[in-house]
Amino acid sequence: MLDVEAFRRIVEAAAFHQLIGLRLEKADAINGVAVLRQPYRPELSIFPDAGVYHGGVIGALIDVAGAVACGLTLGRPTPTANFRVDFLRSPAKVDLIATGRLVRTGKTLAVADVEITDDKGEVYAIGRGTFSTAAAFKAIEGGAESAKARPDGSSMTVLPQIAARQEELTQWRRHLHDHPEIGFEETETARFVTQRLFEAGIEVHSGLAKTGVVGVIEGRPGSRRIGLRADMDALPMEDSGTPLWRSTFPGKFHGCGHDGHIVMLLAAARHLAQSHDFDGIVHVILQPAEEGLGGGRRMVEDGLFEHFPCDEIYALHNMPLLPKGRASVRAGATLASFDQLDVTIHGRGGHAAMPHRTIDAGLVMAYLVTSLQSLV
């Protein structure tokens, strides 16, 4: 059985928990019970003045409390398979208490029930979650400040060759932040990337999916081929920051950190091109139009894997809320996808004196919008 204090540290260090300030208040590994507290914060409210919590916060509490209850008993964190929520009433300006209770465990799945209340016992929501019993999550601490980052206790430090050029890499990132470009318009970004790869002696191919760039680095003889991928596009929004290197393009902003992704990949590519300390081929993939425009799909349709076959592809996304030097990984799907759908509501007209014989499309749409929003 997992040491409860160790599990408490894992829970409270997780990125999403830091985001909403969750605290693990009770951990009963014998009975599979976990109690978490969400302190009230105005920024978690859908209407800050009224203090009404966003439905997504309730759903997250159901998810996390159930996972913790299962994980305590199984002795390891349990990734979520699915969960459902029944909303009973809307909490406002109160701390929320999420109590998860293990219901049953099986060979591959565990089930937990969760109740959301306040300190007075008022029940706001109930839910049930299904969780994978596979050991599928690791939290890896790294950086020079961590001496026991890896399972074998070895230190996971920044390579000296890369650390020595931190100032240059910082300037690259700030330049890109100054000059953001949105999806399929990343011409100057692609030119900057291409120049940096050329300077490192890397074979460069451009124009895939209009503004995409691919670099090819050969190591020692070998048959393995991997891809390292980063996204390049900015968001169509204003940069309200104050740094000297804020966006100089109105309505465009590297608010998702893709400028940092680019520089991380360029630094890794330059190091690999200088050392060649690997077997096979590394394809450095700079993808355009990640923000909802399907740039990755366009690269595939344009023959990315026909021209640059990969056995595996590795990518990452920054998470500023994680402590410095820490990376989080898990098996299976992670983060969120962006999907669109069209819904057509068919109404039926009638007289105001006989509303029961009509179908009010506006009312149906209003219910649909609020119900879907509660899933976010």
* Residue 117 DSSP label: E
d(CA 146, CA 17) in angstroms, rounded, equals 21
Q: How much is the pLDDT for 53?
A: 79
In the numeric block, which tokens belong to residue 323? 């402590």
Among all chains, which residue has been given the structure tokens 């299962």? 70
Q: How much is the pLDDT for 6?
A: 57
Q: How much is the pLDDT for 122?
A: 92
Exposure string for 184-196, b = 16+ CB within 10 A, e = fewer: bbbeebbebbbeb
The rounded radius of gyration (Å) of the Cα atoms in the chain is: 25
Q: How much is the pLDDT for 2?
A: 47
Say if CB 132 and CB 331 are below 8 A apart.
no
Exposure string for 213-245, b = 16+ CB within 10 A, e = fewer: bbbbbebeeeeebebbbbbbbbbeeebeeeeeb
Q: How much is the pLDDT for 133?
A: 64
d(CA 285, CA 279) in angstroms, rounded, equals 18
Q: How much is the pLDDT for 210?
A: 94
List the alpha helices (DSSP H) in the chain: 4-13, 15-20, 55-74, 160-163, 166-178, 187-199, 258-275, 295-301, 304-307, 361-373
Q: How much is the pLDDT for 48?
A: 65
DSSP codes joined into one string, 337-369: -----------B---TT-GGGSB-HHHHHHHHH
Q: What is the separation of C-alpha 350 from the centre of its chain, rounded to a whole number of angstroms?
A: 47
Closest to 216 (Cα-Cα) out of 273, 300, 278: 273
Q: How much is the pLDDT for 108?
A: 67
* Residue 281 DSSP label: E
Return the H-helix or E-strand segment holding 138. strand 137-141
Question: In the Cβ-directed half-sphere of 32, how many Cα atoms lie within 13 Å?
Answer: 19
A 10 A CB-CB count for 114 gives 27
Q: What is the separation of C-alpha 222 from the centre of its chain, rounded to a whole number of angstroms?
A: 33
d(CA 255, CA 174) in angstroms, rounded, equals 13
> Terminus-to-terminus CA distance in the chain, angstroms?
34
Among all chains, which residue has been given the structure tokens 């650390």? 163
d(CA 177, CA 173) in angstroms, rounded, equals 6
A 10 A CB-CB count for 268 gives 18
- Cα 127 to Cα 55, 62, 65: the distances in Å are 13, 6, 10
Q: How much is the pLDDT for 27?
A: 82
| Structural domains of the chain ordered from first start | 4-135 (3.10.129.10), 153-330 (3.40.630.10), 341-376 (no CATH)
* Residue 44 DSSP label: G
Q: How much is the pLDDT for 152?
A: 45
Q: How much is the pLDDT for 89?
A: 83
A 10 A CB-CB count for 344 gives 5
Mean pLDDT in each 10-residue stretch from start to end of the chain (376 residues)?
54 49 81 88 73 76 81 62 75 90 79 91 88 48 36 59 91 94 95 95 94 96 95 93 84 94 97 93 96 92 96 90 73 69 90 89 90 73
